[in-house]
Structure 1
Amino acid sequence: MSEPSPNHSLVKRVEPGQLIRSLSSGQLLMLDPQRPNALIICKTFHAEFAGPGAAVGGPLDVESGTVLPIGDVALLHPQNHQERQNAYSKRLHWMRWLQQITDNPLPAQRARVLLFSLEEFFSTDLVSQLPDDILARLVGVLPQTITAARMEMMALYSPSYSLAG
């Protein structure tokens, strides 16, 4: 595992129970851009995805509900104005990524694209552990739509077994 550069102050590898307190504190943090980590930040009516390098906390996430860590989450303190700007830019990047998926008018397609995209960033095993209800909030579908998309993807990508033996 890579450690943060000496110029960065590592907040800590974050435990799920501490995430809400960290994000609600009003202090601006960013996800370590050098590791495969992300947060799904649940708001009142939707959820947001913040991937590597993205700003979290500060004014963005004061009203957060549940926060779901993905991967080995490490939060850093941006050290200067440029790092803060880059972190905000990365948060916008992830918001646009999610918006592109959400723009699809077909709920089943949104669910499939979300799952496929997450599996490109993280392992299939890790994505399979993420709750359907929270993933559904990311792209505005019902949890059952995520469940159906998972089953469809498993049928497509798992080896076919023959009963003939």
Structure 2
Amino acid sequence: MSPTAPDPGDTEAWNAYLAEGNAKQARKRVAADVLLRDPAGRVLLVNPTYKPDWDLPGGMAEANEPPEETVGRELLEELGLKITVCGLLVVDWVAPHGPWDDQIAFVFDGGTLPQDQADQLHPRDEELAEVAFVEPEEARARLGERIQRRFTAAMAALAAERPLYLHDGVPAH
């Protein structure tokens, strides 16, 4: 049985009641990646040292971190790159799989880097083995299946100029 809600005018009791409810709510893992391009239209991929396939730049959000700030933090840590996010391309609800609970994954539009900046990108920490700008078809070949579906949707969202909502990389209707 749920405890009886206190009078909202009793601030301390009300906040304690809300905190108890908050502690029982499900928590979601959040990932945030970015689609960055060079002037030739190639996309930036990163080759992580901790998993087998290439990936989009980005990573996992820290506690209470907005997804667009996750992208900024990860790009700065891993590539020494500061960008301004241009908009949202994809929100993907990822079902539980393997040892993982479900997660919410975002892909943001990072725009196009000037060629001189693109040419200077290289890994800045031990999480990345290499980086490469590749044609979109080559990107699909390098990405794992789950990220490949999300990347394909992000490219479609970019072309349509509207974000897409996915369930495991498939547009939800």
With normalisation by structure 1, the TM-score equals 0.29
Q: Report the structure, 1 or 2, having the larger strand content.
A: 2
Q: Return the structure number with greater relative CO, CA threshold 8 A, min gap 6.
A: 2
Q: Which has the larger radius of gyration?
A: 2
With normalisation by structure 2, the TM-score equals 0.28
